[in-house]
Structure 1
Amino acid sequence: MVRHSSTRARTAGKFGSMCKVSFVAIATFALVACQSQSQFQTPSDLLFAPTFSKTRQNLPYTRNTPYDCRTFTGSGWKGIASGTVYDFSDRYQTSQAGCFKTQQQCLAWLSAMRSFIDVPRFIRCNPHTA
């Protein structure tokens, strides 16, 4: 019987510490939610809040950068990305091209473009010589 009561005491101690951790987590979440109350008025505002804007100004442009194909010299890789972007009620077509020295740079740029383009028409890297 002594063993049984000491096991209960250990289990109750573990349960008490778990309750404390849970309470701290819930209190922290509640405080964060109260601080952002001025920004979000209803639960649907929080649920449907945009995580980032997909406007034309936020696309990864290569124009007037070292990756602009108009000024690229030598051999490398040409990345082309085209498709439709949806930004809530706005919908627009985009088409971008960039020239890169390595295939890894080209693929990294295409990966960034994939995060913006919702319906891709084509996305590819091809060997390129300027």
Structure 2
Amino acid sequence: MFDFITLAICLQLLANFSTHSAAQPQQSSLFSEFHANYKNQHDNEEPTYSYHYYIDHPESMVHLRHREERHGTRVTGEYGLLEPDGSVRSVHYTVDGDGGFRAVVRTRTAASSAHQLFRLAKQQPTKPVQHAQPVAFVI
């Protein structure tokens, strides 16, 4: 029930956001994406769904993404957004049966140190590549 309400609220917000931006005469570079996978599950005892969406609207400074999946009583998801101060907040959450809602919130600022968790197959060059002449003249 909680997941259905969450999905309904998100869809309403997207609808309101689209209506608001359509009412303005100025040209907008709104990019929004929504994918959902709902199969006919009315007879299924183990409800399953997944969805994700991404909104990027520089004029209103709205940059966010959200993903959620459900398999039976277990729901996992994550969402992230760009805060007005330039920091990036990401939330990873899990709901498992009677265990309740558990979330891990991470905020990355300009002063944060990001660690690379994997080794690149090919190392990046230490100096930029410079060509003596342009390859082609483009108008």
The TM-score normalised by the length of structure 2 is 0.27
The TM-score normalised by the length of structure 1 is 0.29
Q: Which has the higher strand share?
A: 2
Structure number with higher relative contact order (C-alpha < 8 Å, ≥ 6 residues apart): 1
